Amino acid sequence: MEKCGSIELKHFSEEHSAALLEFELPEEQHRFTALPKEVLERTVGRFPIVMLNEAEPVGFFILHATERVKDYSDNPDAMLLTALSVDRKHQGKGFAKEGMLKLPEFVAREFTHCHEVVLVVNVKNTAAQHLYVKAGFADTGERKMGPIGEQIVMKLNIK
* Span 21-42, average pLDDT: 88
Confirm if 72 and 91 have CB atoms less than 8 A apart.
no
* 129 found inside a domain: yes
Confirm if 156 and 116 have CB atoms less than 8 A apart.
yes
Q: What is the pLDDT of residue 4?
A: 53
Instruction: Name beta bridge partners: 3.
Output: none
Q: What is the pLDDT of residue 40?
A: 85
Q: Phi-psi region for residue 125, left (φ > 0), alpha (ψ -120 to 50) or beta?
A: beta
* 2 found inside a domain: no
Q: What is the pLDDT of residue 5?
A: 60
* 1 found inside a domain: no
What are the pLDDT digits (tens) for 43-99? 889 999 999 999 999 999 999 999 999 999 999 999 999 999 999 999 999 999 999
Whether pLDDT at 10 is above 50: yes
Instruction: List alpha helices for the chain, DSSP H.
Output: 17-21, 27-30, 36-39, 95-101, 103-110, 126-134
Q: What is the pLDDT of residue 159?
A: 84
* 48 found inside a domain: yes
Strand ranges for the chain from DSSP E:
7-11, 46-53, 56-64, 78-86, 116-122, 138-146, 149-157
Which residues span the domain enclosing 46?
7-157
119: domain CATH number? 3.40.630.30
CA atoms of 118 and 113, how far apart (whole Å): 14
Whether pLDDT at 118 is above 80: yes
End-to-end distance of the chain based on CA atoms, in angstroms?
30
Number of domains in the chain: 1
Q: How confident is the model at residue 106 (pLDDT cuts 50, 70, 90)?
A: very high
